[in-house]
């Protein structure tokens, strides 16, 4: 089990990654944020697969944090939904902008880390 400092570092890396992938750019007129995951997702076929692979970084961080199995599986579920709907032309691209699977997973892992540090 990682100590509190290691968990803090994991949380910082996870937050940075989620922001980069889902919230890096704001479209000013409509006040919507999107990130590299959405932009890469516009590349037919390989874009959504690349996003799925990159989500693996968050899963690795969850493993390093000692997250419970149900947290890990829920994060995987978020990534799979993003991928499966993302492959649908146009609809998948719009969905990806609002679904923000990386942000969802980062929030889930943040709550898991808070639970771990609270019970230690």
Please state, in angstroms and rounded to a whole number, the distance separating the CA atoms of residues 72 and 20. 21
How far separated are the first and last CA of the chain, in Å rounded? 10
pTM comes to 0.91
Domain boundaries, the chain: 4-113
Q: What is the pLDDT of residue 111?
A: 97
Helix axes 69-86, 101-119, angle to 10 degrees: 170
Q: What is the pLDDT of residues 43-62, one digit of tens each?
A: 987 999 999 999 999 999 99
Q: Where are the alpha helices (DSSP H) in the chain?
A: 4-22, 36-41, 46-64, 69-86, 91-99, 101-119
């Amino acid at each position: 089990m990682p100590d509190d400092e290691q968990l803090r570092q994991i949380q910082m890396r996870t937050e940075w990654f989620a922001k980069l992938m889902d919230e890096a750019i704001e479209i000013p007129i409509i006040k919507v944020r999107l990130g590299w995951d959405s932009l890469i997702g516009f590349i037919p076929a390989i874009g959504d697969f690349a996003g799925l692979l990159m989500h693996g970084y968050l899963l690795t961080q969850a493993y390093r944090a000692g997250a419970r199995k149900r947290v890990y599986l829920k994060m995987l579920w978020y990534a799979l939904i993003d991928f499966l709907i993302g492959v649908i032309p146009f609809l998948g691209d719009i969905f990806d902008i609002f679904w923000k699977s990386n942000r969802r997973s980062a929030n889930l892992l943040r709550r898991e880390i808070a639970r771990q540090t609270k019970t230690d």
